[in-house]
Amino acid sequence: MTSRTDADETAATSLWRHRDFRRYLMGQTASVAGSSVSSMAIPVLAVLELNATAAQVAWLMFLGQLPPALLALHAGALGDRHSKKRQMIISDLVSAAALATVPAAAALHALTLSQLMVVAAVQGAAGVLQDAASISLLPTLVDRSLIQRSNSRVGALFAVAATAGSNLGAALTALLGPARALLGDVASFLISALCTARIQAREPRCTRAADSRLRTEIGEGLRYVYSDHQLRTLTLVNATTSFGLAVLNTLWALYLFVPA
């Protein structure tokens, strides 16, 4: 008879041998690391290159955080209606294209703070669409028995990628300048799109009625979360944490980069 330890080792091995899971993990890890590069380089670019004031930096950070607050529920509903892989790929390519305009404009000495704000808003919108689709795609890639283990792997690597991306962003900013440092994030979005495109698992077909309204689906989702005590608690905790991090991201940019 196979022991419990042997069974656990076999499950772990099968997870790492899962080609689609590895591609998903590689793409999402690259995206997290790249986003950390941007979070380091964009405030430096705004203050040191464009002479942004404290109020302007605050608006820049606010516009980057606004789309997730407004579009999170819609992004989840869209992921249920359409292909999650397609939503992820399009979001990555939109983010890469928007961000690439920044070093291009800087090279032509045409970069403005208004353009940086528009790019931040576009990235925020594309990012929330990508995140909603990627979270719901994972359970379709691995066996149900491996979901908890796969989530732990994803969480661990994301934490490492975020730290490594911040360090990489600081290094690239020092070596190349803040505008060209953003090319690292552009590359990360392209890697993420490529890895997602190579995922071969078929997504389950959408069972929603063609005439169902997006608002109705969002309402159903909210009622379902509210009716489950664990989901309701997790949602409140995550919302509070996200709000606190958004405030922190705005304040650290102001205190670190904007002169008194």
**What is the predicted pLDDT for the residue at 115?**
94
Look at the block and give the residue holding tokens 């579009």. Answer: 71
Both tokens of 83, joined, read 């292909």
Give, in order, the Cα–Cα distances in Å from 164 to each of 160, 200, 205, 246. 6, 29, 37, 20
**Rounded distance, CA 24 to CA 38, Å?**
21
Look at the block and give the residue holding tokens 């149900």. Answer: 144
Global pTM value: 0.78
Helix (H) / strand (E) element for 218: namely helix 214-227
Dump pLDDT digits (tens) for 195-207.
999 998 777 766 5
CATH number of 15-200+244-257: 1.20.1250.20
Per-residue pLDDT of the chain (260 residues; tens, 9 = 90+): 444 444 444 444 566 678 888 899 899 999 999 888 888 888 888 888 888 887 888 888 888 888 877 777 777 667 667 788 888 999 999 999 999 999 999 999 999 999 999 999 999 899 888 888 888 888 888 877 777 888 888 888 888 888 888 888 889 988 999 899 999 999 999 999 999 999 987 777 665 555 567 666 666 666 766 677 776 787 677 767 767 766 676 666 666 655 55
Dump pLDDT digits (tens) for 38-93.
888 888 888 888 888 878 888 888 888 888 777 777 776 676 677 888 889 999 99
HSE-CB of 223 using CA atoms within 13 angstroms: 6
Any idea where the domains of the chain sit in the sequence?
15-200+244-257
